[in-house]
Amino acid sequence: MTAVSFSSVVIPAATVADQLDTLRFRLTGELITSDSIDYDTARTTIFGALARPLAFARVANAEDVVAVVTFAQEHGIPLSVRSGGHSLAWLSVVDGALVVDFTRMKLVMVDPETRTARVQPGATSGDLAGPANAHGLALTTGDTHSVGMGGLVTGGGIGFIVRKYGLAIDNLLSAQVVTAAGEIVTASETEHPDLFWAIRGGGGNAGIVTEFTFQLAPVGQVLGGDLMLPATPEVIRGYLDYVVAAPEDLTTIANLEHAPPAPHVPPDRVGELVLSILLVWTGDLEAGERALAPLRALADPVADAIAPMPYPGIYDFTAFAAEPHNASIRSMFADAISDDAIAAILTAMDTASSPFSLVQLRGLGGAFARVDPDATAFAHRDRNYFVAIIGIWADPEEDRALHEAWTAALWEAIRHEGQGVYVNFLEEEGEARIREAYPEATYTRLARVKAAYDPENLFRHNQNVPPKR
């Protein structure tokens, strides 16, 4: 008889199947095993079907999550957690794991009176943006509609209104969490405050969130879109200088990329190296036009597709990123970006291994920076920039090593200018990089909270901070 090995425990295969059946009957949701018709769909994330988990528990409520956690504890089975399936490190759908799968739990309930929203973790950034906009409200979430709330929020959540309203976690009022002990608790400033601290940036180390309650911002109609400029050193420098000094109503995400064949790009400019500045202005529209003048003055635009729009309209400009793709990523925060780094980035883009690869630059500051670094497990509050080198290719048959080499070469050229990293933009890069995400004091506190809520490190398929008292 074949056997399946789970770390220290070896369970005969027939026993595993029998045991899974007992779990199946305990769930309101469904259990998908390798012989289920849905298995291949379940294991497919935005980066493809990369792993073969033991089974997916498509949970329907918090009680289902308790059943899965208890089952995994009892049988020593590794557990992973999948909300939107966008983990850059492929940590949500893992070989041999029992996956807590939130794809069925994607309810969004907006209360216009209190300007709050209750959101289940399987909802995506786009699932929230639409219903919130119906009431003239918004939350800063992912830059792409498909990014899942479960992973995004537990890591921090840097979105299109971060300079005005902070991170997604800065707008989190409370969360329902299932702990490793199989308890359903509410975490907030007043209930389980340590757990509440840890789930805001701790990346799923402390517990499994089954529902978030957010304060929404009064953001309905915005000035937004894509200001696409030629990618010269002067334009990039001008962009970097302005976007951290601009009024807080302006948040930008700029991609240094080869202009795609999008409707707003003149056909004769497609393929040109450009700085595509995706932006959202949340204030008075006329004041927004004035605030954009310094960016527009940097160069004759390749395309100027800035217009008043409902907030979710900005997702039209990033719809390409929600398509299945392959990626190789290195990222960092930075206080400053030197002329040498800009030159290295431009040279790398000229020799990119894929026409889809890009370097992303985001200006931070504003409300993001006003939160005390100790207030949440996301500590990098005083950094000016977020920089990500993103090698992207469409065909999984392409040579991954070639694209990874491109990312790595540029990373080696600029990483010395980095000051920490965002946990949600880490691949599996080792412990030293996890420590870059969590400065010493944050790391130590996270390890202590982990020891209190997950002493056996059940929740370890994440950017793991092992428990330590």
- The least distance separating ligand FAD from the CB of residue 302, rounded to whole angstroms, comes to 23
- The least distance separating ligand FAD from the CB of residue 194, rounded to whole angstroms, comes to 16
Contact assessment for residue 79 and residue 459, using Cβ atoms and an 8 Å cutoff: yes
Please report whether residue 87 would count as binding ligand FAD according to CB under 6 A.
Answer: yes
Q: What part of residues 94-153 is at the interface with ligand FAD (CB under 6 A)?
A: 102, 121, 142-144, 147-148, 150-152
Please report whether residue 91 would count as binding ligand FAD according to CB under 6 A.
Answer: yes
The token pair at 270 is 């497609």
**Beta-strand relationship, 326-334 and 172-178:** unpaired
Burial class (CB in 10 A: 0-12, 13-18, 19+), 118: middle
Q: How far is CA 392 from CA 132, 276, 354, 356, 426, in A?
A: 31, 16, 7, 5, 15
Q: Other C-beta atoms within 10 Å of 409: how many? A: 15
Please report whether residue 224 would count as binding ligand FAD according to CB under 6 A.
Answer: no
Instruction: Select the span of 49-57, 78-86, 126-134, 230-238 touching ligand FAD (CB under 6 A).
Output: 78-86
Q: How big is the CA angle at 218 (ends 289 and 368), to the nearest 5 degrees?
A: 80
Nearer to ligand FAD, 83 or 116 (CB): 83
Q: Which of 29, 78, 85, 467 binds ligand FAD (CB under 6 A)?
A: 85
CA distance 260 to 307: 20
- Per-residue contact flags (x/-) with ligand FAD for residues 312 to 351, judged by CB under 6 A: ---------x------------------------------
In sequence order, the 6+-apart residues with CB closer than 8 A to the CB of 43 are 49, 50, 51, 52, 53, 56, 93
Please report whether residue 381 would count as binding ligand FAD according to CB under 6 A.
Answer: no
In sequence order, the β-bridge partners of residue 456 are none
DSSP at 232 = -
Q: Which of 29, 53, 155, 312 binds ligand FAD (CB under 6 A)?
A: 155
Q: What part of residues 14-53 is at the interface with ligand FAD (CB under 6 A)?
A: 46
Nearer to ligand FAD, 133 or 331 (CB): 331
Instruction: Select the span of 4-12, 188-196, 204-212, 439-447 touching ligand FAD (CB under 6 A).
Output: 204-212
Sheet holding 303-310, edge to edge: 303-310, 221-230, 273-281, 250-258, 358-363, 385-393, 326-334
- The least distance separating ligand FAD from the CB of residue 10, rounded to whole angstroms, comes to 26
Number of residues lying near ligand FAD (CB under 6 A): 35
Query: At 280, is the secondary structure helix, strand, or coil?
Result: strand
Instruction: Select the span of 3-11, 201-209, 268-276, 348-356 touching ligand FAD (CB under 6 A).
Output: 201-209
- The least distance separating ligand FAD from the CB of residue 290, rounded to whole angstroms, comes to 27
Please report whether residue 437 would count as binding ligand FAD according to CB under 6 A.
Answer: no
Instruction: Select the span of 82-90, 275-283, 344-352, 394-402 touching ligand FAD (CB under 6 A).
Output: 82-90
Please report whether residue 238 would count as binding ligand FAD according to CB under 6 A.
Answer: no
CA distance 64 to 358: 40
Please report whether residue 159 would count as binding ligand FAD according to CB under 6 A.
Answer: yes
In sequence order, the 6+-apart residues with CB closer than 8 A to the CB of 284 are none
- The least distance separating ligand FAD from the CB of residue 103, rounded to whole angstroms, comes to 9
CA distance 161 to 141: 8
Tokens 């003149």: give the residue.
266
Please provide the size of the chain in residues: 469
Q: Which of 331, 357, 424, 442 binds ligand FAD (CB under 6 A)?
A: 424
Nearer to ligand FAD, 204 or 301 (CB): 204
**Buried (b) or exposed (e) across 17-40, using 16+ Cβ within 10 A?**
eeebeebeebbebbbbbeeeeebe
Q: Which of 29, 84, 224, 225 binds ligand FAD (CB under 6 A)?
A: 84
DSSP at 231 = -
What is the tally of helices (H) and strands (E) in the chain? 14, 20
Sign of CA dihedral 131, 137, 139, 143: positive
Q: Which of 171, 380, 462, 465 binds ligand FAD (CB under 6 A)?
A: 462
In sequence order, the β-bridge partners of residue 31 are 57
Instruction: Select the span of 157-165, 185-193, 263-271, 289-297 touching ligand FAD (CB under 6 A).
Output: 157-165
Nearer to ligand FAD, 129 or 344 (CB): 129
Residue nearest to ligand FAD (CB): 151
Which stretches of the chain bind ligand FAD, using CB under 6 A? 46, 81-88, 91-92, 102, 121, 142-144, 147-148, 150-152, 154-159, 203-204, 208-209, 321, 424, 461-462
